[in-house]
Structure 1
Amino acid sequence: MSKLKIAVIGCGSIAKFRHLPEYKVNQHVEITAVCDIFEERANEIARQYEAKAYTDYKELFANEEVDAVSVCLPNYLHAPVSIDALNSGFHVLCEKPMATSQAEAEAMIEAAERNGKKLMIAHNQRFARSHQLAKQLIENGTVGKIYSFRTAFGHPGPEGWSVDGRDSWFFEKDKAYIGAMGDLGVHKSDLIRYLLGEEITEVGAFIETTAKENTDVDDTAVCALKTESGIIGTLAASWSYTAKEDNSTIIYGEKAILRLEDNPTYSLVVQYTNGEVVNYELGKIQSNEEGGQNTSHVIDHFVSAIIEDREPLINGEEGMKSLAVILAAIKSNETKTIAKVFE
């Protein structure tokens, strides 16, 4: 079969270090076009991947016969560009958070359905081996009834990751809308929903800007979450973990405690109530730190969903439900009340 033609919109760090190299090694695709508002950046990436360069995504959509696009843009552009791509007849892989409001997310889902195209949101945490094994242990009853959880995602901030450093759009509220909660927190709301297999219904949150100067987006957040069956736990997202990244999750169950990405050697540690401890060495989780997995598995999953004509694991509905938790956290912080998800 002929290869899928791919365009990548936005040539910042997430495209450079995740999407483009992972498309490059996938034998089923061909990177045909790239786009960035900075012409020099677009041209550099285009040369590297032998693709055509654009500075206007609408011009790319009009001129290129592509099958799918990756949307790797600032948060406020995720919805409009994804919708334009879907309406142009392209499958879409959109970076997280999928949108900045529930209405935007719903419009993206509607566009995908109306055009008969795949919409996937790039939540890579579901593909970590430790997380997938933990989900199996929960589903097969090994952990027993789940009592509580805590999950955290934090690092020193996007200035060490973004191609624009401290001048990155991540720190501009009109472009990012949300800071650490949109960058990191939404990954963990998606992970908890995935692991527990149920929805989060209520959120209480404190969201602050404590570590970064000259910005009006959040950099530190701590949330209390409650699921539909009454499981309670915490979610922390931060750009103020100045020494080392924390990407850990702990599930407290009736028969065992699961420690995920909490040990430098063992990515899953199962502590049973009878005293037995089982350590799983599964390789490091994909992260911004050196030594993380060199693939997110997101690209391969997206490509195979198109080729095999099946729904992606993290479709628009899933992306919207994970976003809704973060939107509820923002509402909770603003109103100083417990906020219902999807109220």
Structure 2
Amino acid sequence: MKKLKVAVIGCGSIAQHRHLIEYNQNPNVELVAVCDIVEERVKEIANEYNVEAYTNYEDVLMLANVDAVSVCLPNYLHAPVSIAALHAGKHVLCEKPMATSREEAEEMIAAAEKNDKKLMIAHNQRFVPSHQKARAIIESGEIGKIHSFRSTFGHGGPEGWSADGKDSWFFRKEEAFIGAMGDLGVHKADLLRYLLGEEFVEVASMIETSAKDFAEVDDNAVCILKSESGIIGTLTASWAYTAKEDNSTIIYGEKAILRLEDDPIYSLIVQYANGEVVKYGLGAIQSNDEGGQTTSHTIDHFVEAVLENKEPLIDGEEGKKSLEIILASLESMKTKKFTRMTV
């Protein structure tokens, strides 16, 4: 099989701990270039992976030997750089959130279609074994009608793992656009859509900056979501979980409760209404904490989609739908009303 030649644009924490490592581990990939505006950083990484170093992404997009790129840049650059890459004939794996507006997301989708290139958004929660098993259980009808849910994603904040610490772009509104809701909440919005198999129609939210006085963006958010069929629940995103990361989801069904990533040993626990309890040890979720899963499977899925000409699980349309939940939550906070969404 022909190897996919890849460049990584943006060499911050997510590139260093996910994209570069996972591309390098994939036998069907040849890393050819890395790009970052911090010259010292990009040269060091280029030496580590024995690839070419660039400080201007436009130079990377001109390379004839690059088939695909990962866009691992600050949020405000996701759309413009992805669009430029697609028009340059490159397949794109873009970090989340895919864009800062619905219009930007639609431009990305249009660019992918026009140039017949793959566009995938890096929502890695869909590849977690416990999440995939839970989706299969839900689809089978085993837990009956779903009544409610609660899902949270929180840790101590980007300053603990970002390449630039407290000086990270994550905290600057002009570059990040949104804080914990864009960093973590969008992951859960995508996961809940995936698990429930339906779209959300109403969103209400409270989004605050309460834990980090130096941040220009939110660090705590709680949203209430209502789905097409009337399932209601909460989504919480936080940069204030200082002691330990929490990436749990609970699904409350008619015949059982599913507890995902809610137990230190068992990644999925099914508690049936008749008293039976089934525990699944399916491996650790990818995490910033010690002992997390070593691969997100996101890169492998993207590579397979490109090489086998298959539509990725999280294409531009899927990424846009998850982004729209975040945009609706911002609108709700602004208006102090429920935001209705079109499905």
Give the equivalent residue in structure 2 for 1:52.
52
Amino acid at match of 2:325: V
CA-to-partner distance for each residue in 1:176-209, whole Å, 9 max, x for gaps?
0000000000000000000000001110000000
For 1:214 and 1:328, the matched residues in 2 are separated by: 25
The alpha carbon displacement at 1:64 in A equals 4.3
Give the structure 1 partner of residue 186 of structure 2. 186
Write out aligned runs for 1:129-168 (5 A). 129-168=129-168
Partner of 1:224: 224
Contact 1:324 / 1:342 at 8 angstroms: preserved in 2? no
2:16, 2:222 → 1: CA distance?
30
Aligned twin of 1:34: 34
Residue in 2 aligned with 1:330? 330
> Which residue is 1:195 aligned to?
195
SS of the equivalent of 1:63 reads coil
Q: Where in structure 1 do 4 or more consecutive aligned residues deviate above 6 Å? A: none
User: Which AA in structure 1 matches 2:65?
Assistant: E
Give the 3-state SS of the residue equivalent to 1:240 in structure 2: coil
Q: TM-score of the superposition, structure 2-length normalised?
A: 0.99
SS at match of 1:234: strand
Q: Kindly state the Cα deviation for residue 216 of structure 1 after the two structures are TM-superposed.
A: 1.8
Are residue 21 (structure 1) and residue 24 (structure 2) matched?
Answer: no
Partners of 1:176 and 1:290 lie apart in 2 by 26
CA displacement, residues 24-54 of structure 1 (integer Å, 9 cap, x when unaligned): 0100010000000011111111111111000
Q: Which runs of 5+ in 2 are unaligned?
A: none
Alpha-carbon distance in structure 2 between the residues aligned to 1:15 and 1:82:
16
Alignment deviations for residues 141-178 of structure 1 (CA, whole Å, 9 cap, x no partner): 11100000000000010000100000000000000000
Alignment of 1:273-292 (within 5 A): 273-292=273-292
Partners of 2:90 and 2:198 in 1: CA distance: 31
Matches within 5 A, 1:210-221: 210-221=210-221
> How big is the shift at 1:341?
2.4
Cα distance in 1 for partners of 2:42, 2:4 equals 21
Amino acid at match of 2:24: K
> TM-score scaled to structure 1, two decimals?
0.99
Question: How many angstroms does 1:214 deviate by?
Answer: 1.9
Pairwise CA distance, 1:130: 0.3
Quote the Cα distance in structure 2 between the aligned partners of 1:143 and 1:262: 18
Identity %: 69
Q: CA deviation at 1:65?
A: 2.2
Aligned length: 343
Task: String of CA shifts for 1:11-30, please: whole Å, max 9, x gaps.
Answer: 00000000000000100010
**Contact 1:10 1:71 (8 Å CA) reproduced:** yes
1:263-311 Cα shifts (integer Å, max 9, x gaps): 0000000000000000111111011111011000000000000111010
Tell me the SS of whatever aligns to 2:306. helix
- Structure 1 residues 66-105: aligned runs within 5 Å: 66-105=66-105
Partner of 2:233: 233
Structure 2 CA distance for partners of 1:178 and 1:20, relative to 1, 3 Å: same
Aligned-residue offset at 1:336 = 0.1
> Aligned residue for 1:294?
294
| Per-residue deviation, 1:63 | 3.3
- What is the SS of the residue equivalent to 2:332? helix
Deviations 1:223-256 (A, max 9, x none): 0000011100000000011111110000000000
Tell me, yes or no, if the aligned pair for 1:245 and 1:289 is still in contact at 8 Å: yes
How far apart are residue 215 of structure 1 and its match?
1.9
CA distance in 1, matches of 2:215, 2:135: 38
C-alpha contact (below 8 Å) 1:268/1:280 kept by paired residues = yes
Aligned equivalents of 1:73 and 1:167: distance in 2? 15
Distance 2:62 2:207 in 1: 42
